Amino acid sequence: MESIDITQYLADARKGDTDAFNRVYEMVYDELRNIAHRQLYRHRQSDTLNTTALVHEAYERLVGNSQIEWQDRNHFYALTSRAMRYILVDYARSRNAKKRGGNKLNVPLDAVQLAIEERSAELEALDEALKQLSSHNKQLEQLVELKFFGGLTYKEIAAIMDRSERSLRRDWQRARTWIYSAMKE
């Protein structure tokens, strides 16, 4: 039932109902926090991270983009994973610029101190590898975004991508190998 409600609210939002997107946000907020927490946990070194800030930043980016044509619940989660990817990569670039003496401003995550400083160069390299992978195979890029940045399970990804879990596991191995090679260069 929730999936149908979310899909209907997203359709209403696409038609201009501003309250519809807020209803979707209320319905999926806990799941978005879980996704953000899993994602930030992967990059954590020692500090406690504020997953709420990442969720709110992703929400702001999604709501602020009037060009998105919401399709359904799965599309919503896929775009949220992509937004989180870009937020974390932007933050990593900002941290690296500061390390090199740049005066670039932080991504607006308020006063949140993301503990990915030691891995920010890695995150930038991963993003670059994903861009290359995208030109080679868009499905593999989406899989990496959903699994790595979205923290989704194979079952959840299978529903989003309309593929079997078994083929996703094979593709995950292919994507990891491809990215490893690209990042090694």
Residue 10 confidence (pLDDT) above 50 = yes
Q: In the chain, where are the structural domains located?
A: 2-184
Neighbours of 99 (CB within 10 A): 11
Contact 109, 144 (CB under 8 A): no
Q: How far apart are CA 89 and CA 87, in angstroms?
A: 6
Residue 104 has pLDDT above 80, yes or no: no
Query: What is the mean predicted confidence (pLDDT) over 96-112?
Result: 47
Can you tell me the mean pLDDT for 116-137?
78
The reported pTM is 0.57
CA distance 87 to 109: 9
Query: What's the CA gap between 112 and 44, in Å, rounded?
Result: 13
Q: How confident is the model at residue 66 (pLDDT cuts 50, 70, 90)?
A: low
Which of 113, 119, 115, 128 minimizes the C-alpha distance to 96?
119
**pLDDT confidence of residue 111:** 31
Give the Cβ contact number of residue 131 at 10 Å: 11
- Distance, CA of 116 to CA of 118 (rounded, Å): 6
Q: Cα(85)–Cα(98) distance, rounded to whole angstroms?
A: 20
- Tokens at residue 174, please? 């292919």
pLDDT at 90: 79
Output the furthest CA–CA distance in the chain (Å, rounded).
Answer: 52
Percent of residues in the chain assigned helix, strand, coil, to nearest 5 = 75, 0, 25
Residues 147-171 have pLDDT tens digits of 887 778 899 899 888 999 999 999 9
